[in-house]
Amino acid sequence: MVDGGTAGTPGRSPRSDEPARPGSGQRALVVEDEPELARLVGSYLERDGFEVTVVHDGLEAVARSREVDPDVVVLDLGLPGLDGVEVCRRLRTFSDAYVVMLTARSEEVDTLIGLSVGADDYLTKPFSPRELMARIQAMLRRPRPLGHAAGGLDTDGGTSLLFGDLAIDLDGREVWLEDRAVPLTRTEFDVLATLARRPGMAFSRRQLIDAVWGPTWVGDEHLVDVHVGHLRHKLGDAAAEGRYVRTVRGIGYRMGRGE
Ligand code: CA
């Protein structure tokens, strides 16, 4: 089956002087109808400090998501009840959880990216649980606002960025458009914040992937376009071009001032 099993650090008990594990205090939901794979993924997440809930079908996944309010969802595409695409769509109506979708064939990923289902990342089976954990950890370690890196010197709202009528609160991870809160997923926020922190810079898709998904991410870079499309929609921009997220032809994207 999948690589890994209990290799690594079996039986090691957590010690109080260890640094906080990436998932400490966070909740993960595993949605997978193969019991052995669900158990394995769950055990890796628990080892990383997550509070794990495992469910085996799509309808249950949506119901439990409302109760658990997970930070991370590992979601199989092929499920009894509702399939992963529909679960993700429903999840997105009330959750900004980080969603990694598991697919049986790599060709499915292109289709899923085209469908704009709203997953943050994709992994094709069979995969290594370590690869899955590395992707989740990369997401959870995404660069935090500069104010934190500088030792908290940046106070008095100094981590808010303004672009015309658009305000981005980097610390609070909130976005306001004309005094109206704009609900973004984690990935949408991180794409926007990456562009906004360097407003003069045109980012290639690969540079955005390095910043948001992590430099080890491998896959179809048009995943970026899908998240930009969602962002533009939520910011009230035209699908093809945005006032805030602007296309730089032949390169990628840069921040606009809302004009
Ligand atoms: Ca399945």
**What is the CATH topology of the domain spanning 160-255?**
Arc Repressor Mutant, subunit A (1.10.10)
Task: Return the pLDDT at 220.
Answer: 83
- In the reported structure, the alpha carbon of residue 229 is separated from the centroid of ligand 1 by a whole-number distance in angstroms of 29
Task: Return the pLDDT at 87.
Answer: 95
- In the reported structure, the alpha carbon of residue 231 is separated from the centroid of ligand 1 by a whole-number distance in angstroms of 30
- In the reported structure, the alpha carbon of residue 86 is separated from the centroid of ligand 1 by a whole-number distance in angstroms of 14
- In the reported structure, the alpha carbon of residue 132 is separated from the centroid of ligand 1 by a whole-number distance in angstroms of 16
Residues of the chain with CATH 1.10.10.10: 160-255
- In the reported structure, the alpha carbon of residue 101 is separated from the centroid of ligand 1 by a whole-number distance in angstroms of 11
Helix (H, G, I), strand (E, B) or coil at 157: coil
Residues of the chain with CATH 3.40.50.2300: 27-140
* Adjacency order of strands within the sheet including 51-55: 51-55, 27-31, 72-76, 98-103, 121-124
- In the reported structure, the alpha carbon of residue 37 is separated from the centroid of ligand 1 by a whole-number distance in angstroms of 10
Task: Return the pLDDT at 114.
Answer: 65
How does pLDDT run along the chain (259 residues), one tens digit per residue?
333 333 334 444 444 445 556 677 899 999 999 999 999 999 999 999 999 999 999 999 999 999 999 999 999 999 998 999 999 989 988 888 899 999 988 778 777 776 777 788 888 999 999 999 988 987 777 644 333 333 333 444 458 888 989 999 988 899 999 989 999 998 999 999 999 998 889 999 999 999 998 888 888 888 899 899 989 999 998 877 789 999 998 899 999 988 7
- In the reported structure, the alpha carbon of residue 35 is separated from the centroid of ligand 1 by a whole-number distance in angstroms of 10
Helix (H) or strand (E) holding 84: helix 84-91
- In the reported structure, the alpha carbon of residue 230 is separated from the centroid of ligand 1 by a whole-number distance in angstroms of 27
- In the reported structure, the alpha carbon of residue 26 is separated from the centroid of ligand 1 by a whole-number distance in angstroms of 25
Scan for tokens 């469908």, then name that residue: 115
CA gap 55, 34 in Å, rounded:
10
In sign, the C-alpha dihedral spanning 214, 142, 126, 60 is negative
Residues 6+ apart with CB under 8 A from 7: none
- Token pair in block for residue 208: 């955005």
- In the reported structure, the alpha carbon of residue 7 is separated from the centroid of ligand 1 by a whole-number distance in angstroms of 24
CA gap 14, 60 in Å, rounded:
32
CA gap 123, 257 in Å, rounded:
36
Torsion, Cα 190 192 188 248, to 10 degrees, reads -120
- In the reported structure, the alpha carbon of residue 88 is separated from the centroid of ligand 1 by a whole-number distance in angstroms of 15
CA gap 122, 131 in Å, rounded:
11
- In the reported structure, the alpha carbon of residue 39 is separated from the centroid of ligand 1 by a whole-number distance in angstroms of 13
- In the reported structure, the alpha carbon of residue 201 is separated from the centroid of ligand 1 by a whole-number distance in angstroms of 42
- In the reported structure, the alpha carbon of residue 23 is separated from the centroid of ligand 1 by a whole-number distance in angstroms of 25
Task: Return the pLDDT at 145.
Answer: 38
- In the reported structure, the alpha carbon of residue 254 is separated from the centroid of ligand 1 by a whole-number distance in angstroms of 38
What letter represents residue 152's amino acid? G
CA gap 55, 2 in Å, rounded:
19
- In the reported structure, the alpha carbon of residue 129 is separated from the centroid of ligand 1 by a whole-number distance in angstroms of 16
- In the reported structure, the alpha carbon of residue 59 is separated from the centroid of ligand 1 by a whole-number distance in angstroms of 14
**What is the CATH topology of the domain spanning 27-140?**
Rossmann fold (3.40.50)
- In the reported structure, the alpha carbon of residue 224 is separated from the centroid of ligand 1 by a whole-number distance in angstroms of 26
CA gap 116, 112 in Å, rounded:
6
In the DSSP assignment, the letter for residue 238 is -
What letter represents residue 186's amino acid? R
- In the reported structure, the alpha carbon of residue 79 is separated from the centroid of ligand 1 by a whole-number distance in angstroms of 5
